[in-house]
Amino acid sequence: MATRLSVNVNKIATLRNARGGDNPNVVQVSKDCERFGAQGITVHPRPDERHIRYQDVLDLKEVVKTEFNIEGYPDARYMELVLKVKPTQATLVPDPPGVLTSNAGWDTIKNESLLKELIQELQANGIRTSIFVDTNLKNVEGAAKVGANRIELYTEPYASKFHANKEAAIAPFIKAAKLAKELSLDLNAGHDLDLHNLKYFAQNITGLDEVSIGHALISDALYFGLENTIQMYLAQLEP
């Protein structure tokens, strides 16, 4: 079964916010992404609302027909929003307010009690949980211990090394993915995946359930158009 593509629409909101008003419209673009073949919509609201606004999340709740994934740092406001919206998936990311973008995975050992408590609350409300981790096998083991349904592998290290030595770049991800499956964790991936490195990643990571891609996909859409770009990304994920 092909890996599912979830489109992160944060950059659509960034473009809208740069000018004010409602152009481009985040809800309409998300509906179009689904119409063009995307199997999920991802948002990552931050406290300063510099891209996705909390109202966007509420609006998207009413229209997303595929999987709705809300990423974020699990502070009180995030948890309140997610429990209100009840998306298909909540992805917990260790990026406190002020960081430009997600740049690390959870230390699941250090944060065991916090993650366990959050995950239990989310799952009690019927929300699938995924936690953002690196390829440190101890952190993968910790993700299983705290009860997560899935992990999302932080793929920036892979992307940054891909062109120099793709075999070396993928190696730690293969090991982490293998362990995840042995621990009955489902597997997502995201961050800096693009049309150059996605196919190799998907071909070499057994059991990859979903990738979440935003920045690269929206950037490519400036050249190729959104519908064509989504089809190009889906083609990279074909078995």
* Active site annotation includes 210: no
CA distance 10 to 5: 15
Query: Quick one: pLDDT at residue 97?
Result: 58
CA distance 155 to 93: 13
Q: Which residues of the chain have pLDDT under 50?
A: 100
Q: Which residues contact 18 (CB under 8 A, 6 or more apart)?
A: none
Question: 0.85 exceeded by the pTM?
Answer: yes
Q: Buried b / exposed e across 21-53, counting CB within 10 Å, b at 16+?
A: eeebbbbebbbbbbebebbbbbbbbbeeeebbb
DSSP state of 155: -
* Active site annotation includes 44: yes
**3-class secondary structure, 206:** coil
Q: What are phi and psi of 217, to 5 degrees?
A: -65, -45
Mean pLDDT, rounded, of the chain: 95
Active-site position among 34, 51, 67, 71: 71
CA distance 1 to 15: 34
Q: pLDDT per residue over 8-46, tens digit each?
A: 999 999 999 999 999 999 999 999 999 999 999 999 998
Q: Which domains does the chain possess? A: 4-232 (3.20.20.70)
Using DSSP bridges, classify how beta strands 210-213 and 128-133 pair: parallel, antiparallel or unpaired. Answer: unpaired
Q: Where are the beta strands (DSSP E) in 117-230?
A: 128-133, 150-154, 186-190, 210-213
CA distance 80 to 156: 29
Active-site position among 34, 51, 191, 210: 191
Active-site position among 44, 51, 67, 210: 44
* Active site annotation includes 196: no
Query: Quick one: pLDDT at residue 95?
Result: 78
